Structure 1
């Protein structure tokens, strides 16, 4: 008999209210992007090159990738509740460290430590699976990930407004306040949903070789990694582009940052509406083509002399549409290659996706100051999107020609 969500808030002896899980995912998403409009100003404050300051994005993503491999097994062994309490408390301390960091090196170290909040992304979904059966879990996870879709729309805009009003530290004070509130909510409302402990991590690692031999798994993971790489390249390069090339204020830049998030909502809607009818491979293909066409159009429009910021930022909505169509379907595909290793595939695929995104973020931060205008970032995003297209075409051909092979 499956457990049900708590009928009321603030009862830690029962499974949590769904809103608690939504807020957990939302705070984790906010940590990723709320401070992005402040990056150029932070580079001036710390007397650091933009490429160094941009490491606050890429190092955070790298740590998130590593943590995705560890958080699930740790929560299997010690429970969801204690892992969330400890990780949220550590996130609050790391945020204070970032606020009072005297040097860019200390700030980057604290920023890496903030990645511990990735536990909220991983465990909010795991807790849903603990509480309900597989069919209902898909619906509830959709509500949980709603926080991850809405927050990127408002996070940069809010961060830009806070920066202009109070300075760059204001975004991190907001994160600290959110962490304290979330810590109280977890303590009060998050009951333990995984009472049966297991040795999780060792068993998960032992299953990696079988999964690593599956070529279709790598095809789906590559499609998702390239798709997320387009978005993370945007995160790494857009603050510099908006400030140094287009001369945007932090508040206006924050508003423009909402374009991919709006597209992501539409892409997720299209996935939910058409994936069963069209099939996951075709949805991935169409998503990658939409992003590629959008980035190619952005290059051509800017080259034609239309150099308004919208010539770049408006078309990044296609990045969000593509991600919304590619990532859910590619994730589902990677989990279906070896159904009995779905947990292992989820952790490994997620780590590869975020790790690849971190690499694209670093590359964007390095290339932009070396080029002219938005062209380096536009080209990087276009080439990365085409990589997603190549990956899904490989999967489609593999399925067509080698479906009878167990290692396909």
Structure 2
């Protein structure tokens, strides 16, 4: 349909069926990809950054944890603000902050300045995560929203799939600063596209009662067991992925003595699995049902960790024995995430922004906790990474029980 039909809150789910144009869909994909790019693009540079900045690996690992923690906290604020003032102005502001943070990182002379830039990047980039989902929920009812979020995140997953490869090439050619320069350019391009294409989608913005109680939306959500079921399942599933991210670069580059480019290529398998999972979710969630899709994905993720442990026990120097089974972890997350997020933002549609922000905060916050733990433990082998990943997938399976209460 023509982009003019995106204008105004009348495009909301309550107004009837909505057909999303390809340009609008690609815009949402780019918006949602900004923050994952900020996470994954510089991963191959992390071991090399230790020498460039004169710090140990733990200090570089902290830049990832700091980013994840800032994303988690930022979404708590972004969601309610967008419920009150609208998705468009908040998203534009967030993207502008992301660009500024990327420039700071590119020019950073020290680890402390780099950390400050990472905080800015995260606070700006988290708007893309929370608001891309809230925009979809503004336009679609719950089951359709799960399907559309699946398609959006399927496209978004291309970013973390290719990011480590791009980052590895940029590291080899121009050093670690080139990755952050790339992020600044991508963020600026996305900002321009959003300014041109996005019209306001939130039909509840400006509501007087809501403006008097931005935090009451959280109060409503916290009393609903189903919200906790969806949010915790997403959180532990995400934590499983970040447990792998937190240790994989060190294991492959330092312990297995492979190059950053090789690591980036292997990492693409995990993202490919995530893409497939999201495609299957978008294609079949209406037939299978969101809750069944979540259970299937969580079970697949847990089984993938068991397979990883078995293969790694056979040979601890083959990267493929880590990444091939973890492809199915990515696929399981691709099945879980769209339905979990759609479920979380649907329990109270009038506070979809707050729900998306809180669920996203839990999702990324769990990753911020496990990533540095794994990074500190994988000094001689990948076993700590495998064990923590397995525990997270098990907790995801158990958390889903809250949805039926």
TM-score, normalization: structure 2?
Answer: 0.85
Q: Distance in 1 between matches of 2:152 and 2:397?
A: 29
Q: Give me the whole-angstrom Cα distance separating, in 2, the residues matched to 1:183 and 1:331.
A: 24
Whole-angstrom distance in 2 between the partners of 1:193 and 1:330: 22
C-alpha displacement at 1:317, in angstroms? Answer: 0.5
Instruction: Kindly state the Cα deviation for residue 352 of structure 1 after the two structures are TM-superposed.
Output: 1.1
Query: Quick one: which of 262, 267, 291 aligns to 1:252?
Result: 262
Deviations 1:319-352 (A, max 9, x none): 1011012222333444455666655433322211
In structure 2, what is the Cα distance between the partners aligned to 1:255 and 1:332? 31
List alignment gaps of at least 5 residues for structure 1: 400-407
Matched, 1:283 2:267: no
Report the CA distance shift for 1:229/1:279 in structure 2 as closer, same or farther (over 3 A).
same
Shift of 1:375: 0.8
Q: Tell me the equivalent position of 1:64.
A: 71
Residues 1:46 and 2:44 are matched in the alignment? no
Go from structure 1 to structure 2 and tell me whether the alpha carbon gap of 1:349 and 1:81 turns closer, same or farther (over 3 Å shift). closer
Does residue 90 of structure 2 align to residue 83 of structure 1?
yes
How many Å separate the matches in 1 of 2:184 and 2:70? 19
- For 1:292-333, what per-residue CA distance to the aligned partner results, in whole angstroms no more than 9, with x for missing partners? 222122222222235311111111102101101222233344
1:174 aligned residue: 182
1:316 aligns with 2:323: no
Residue pair 2:238, 2:367 contacting (<8 A) in 1 also: yes
Q: Would you say 1:352 and 2:370 are equivalent positions?
A: no
Say if 1:233 and 1:364, in contact at 8 Å, map to a contact too.
yes
Q: Residue 5 of structure 1 aligns with which residue?
A: 3
Instruction: Note the 1:7-406 alignment, pairs <5 A.
Output: 17-18=23-24, 19-115=26-122, 116-130=124-138, 141-194=149-202, 196-198=205-207, 200=210, 203-305=213-315, 307-335=317-345, 342-369=352-379, 372-392=380-400, 394-395=401-402, 399=404
Deviation at 1:192, TM superposition (A): 4.2
Q: Conserved in 1, the CA contact under 8 Å of 2:249 and 2:263?
A: yes
Distance 1:220 1:94 in 2: 31
CA-atom RMSD in angstroms: 3.0
- CA displacement, residues 141-177 of structure 1 (integer Å, 9 cap, x when unaligned): 4554343121111111111111111111111111111
Quick check: 1:4–1:131 contact (8 Å CA) kept in 2?
A: no
For the structure 1 residues 346 and 159, does the alpha-carbon distance in structure 2 shift closer, same or farther, using more than 3 Å as the test?
A: same
Number of positions where the alignment pairs a residue of Structure 1 with one of Structure 2? 390
Q: Which moved more, 1:174-183 or 1:315-324?
A: 174-183
1:249, CA displacement in angstroms? Answer: 0.9
8 A Cα contact 2:78 2:127, kept in partner: yes
Tell me the distance in 1 between the aligned counterparts of 2:268 and 2:241.
12
Which one has the largest radius of gyration? 1
Task: Measure the CA separation in 1 of the matches of 2:93 and 2:335.
Answer: 34
Q: Residue 37 of structure 1: CA displacement?
A: 0.8
Counterparts of 1:4 and 1:138, CA distance in 2 = 23
Classify 1:76/1:217 alpha carbon distance in 2 versus 1 (closer, same or farther; 3 Å).
closer
Alpha-carbon deviations, 1:40-98, whole Å to 9, x = none?
11122122221221122221111111221222332344443332332222222211111
Deviates more, 1:336-345 or 1:306-315: 336-345
Of stretches 258-267 and 137-146 in structure 1, the one that deviates more from structure 2 is: 137-146
Distance verdict in 2 for CA 1:93–1:274, change over 3 Å: closer
CA distance in 2, matches of 1:211, 1:193: 22
8 Å CA contact 1:295, 1:316 repeated in 2: yes
By how many angstroms is 1:100 displaced?
1.6
Q: 1:283 to 1:141 in 2, by over 3 A?
A: closer
Q: Distance in 2 between matches of 1:138 and 1:306?
A: 38
**Cα separation, partners in 2 of 1:366 and 1:333, compared to 1, 3 Å:** same
Checking the alignment, whether the CA contact within 8 Å between 2:137 and 2:352 is kept in structure 1 is no
Q: For 1:363 and 1:138, locate their aligned partners in 2 and report how far apart those are by CA, in whole Å.
A: 32
User: C-alpha separation between the residues in 1 aligned to 2:250 and 2:211?
Assistant: 40
The change in CA–CA distance for 1:188 and 1:112 in structure 2 (over 3 A counts) is same
Q: Structure 1 residues 96, 269: closer, same or farther in 2, change over 3 A?
A: closer
Further displaced range: 340-349 or 112-121: 340-349
